[in-house]
């Protein structure tokens, strides 16, 4: 990434969400890598809720399914704009946000 200004995409959805039988978070990271996006990271939440207002949580003795997932993707605005249509298509039950960020070091 050679830009100083960039866009950060955050995609919020559930761990059980899939695309073509594959975990959605895995598909998204592989898609970004294939499209030479500067970076993508997956975070697994321990507690959260979304549009449904159902609280999803993990516990020590319970393996919760459908924990919150956040995928963060960063690159120049032009590159992010190229992949947004695909992200919007594959995220059926989730939230996608965009934020301008300043890259300090690459």
pLDDT tens digit sequence for 49-102: 776 666 666 655 455 567 899 999 999 999 999 999 999 999 998 999 999 999
* CATH class of residue range 5-102: alpha beta
Q: How many CB atoms lie within 10 A of CB 45?
A: 15
What's the pLDDT score for residue 61?
47
Q: How many CB atoms lie within 10 A of CB 56?
A: 20
Helix ranges (H only) for the chain are 24-34, 77-90
- What is the DSSP secondary structure assignment for residue 85, as one 8-state letter? H
Q: Tell me the chain's radius of gyration from C-alpha atoms.
A: 15
With CA atoms as reference, report the closest residue to 47 among 56, 38, 39: 56
């Amino acid at each position: 990434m050679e830009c100083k200004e960039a866009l950060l995409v955050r995609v919020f959805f559930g761990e059980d969400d899939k695309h073509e039988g594959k975990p959605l978070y895995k598909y998204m990271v592989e898609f970004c890598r294939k499209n030479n996006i500067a970076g993508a990271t997956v975070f697994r939440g321990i507690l959260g809720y979304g549009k449904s207002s159902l609280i999803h949580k993990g516990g020590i003795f319970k393996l919760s399914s459908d924990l919150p997932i956040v995928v963060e993707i960063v690159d120049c605005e032009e590159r992010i704009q190229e992949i947004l249509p695909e992200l919007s298509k594959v995220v059926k039950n989730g939230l996608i946000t965009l934020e301008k960020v300043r890259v300090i070091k690459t």
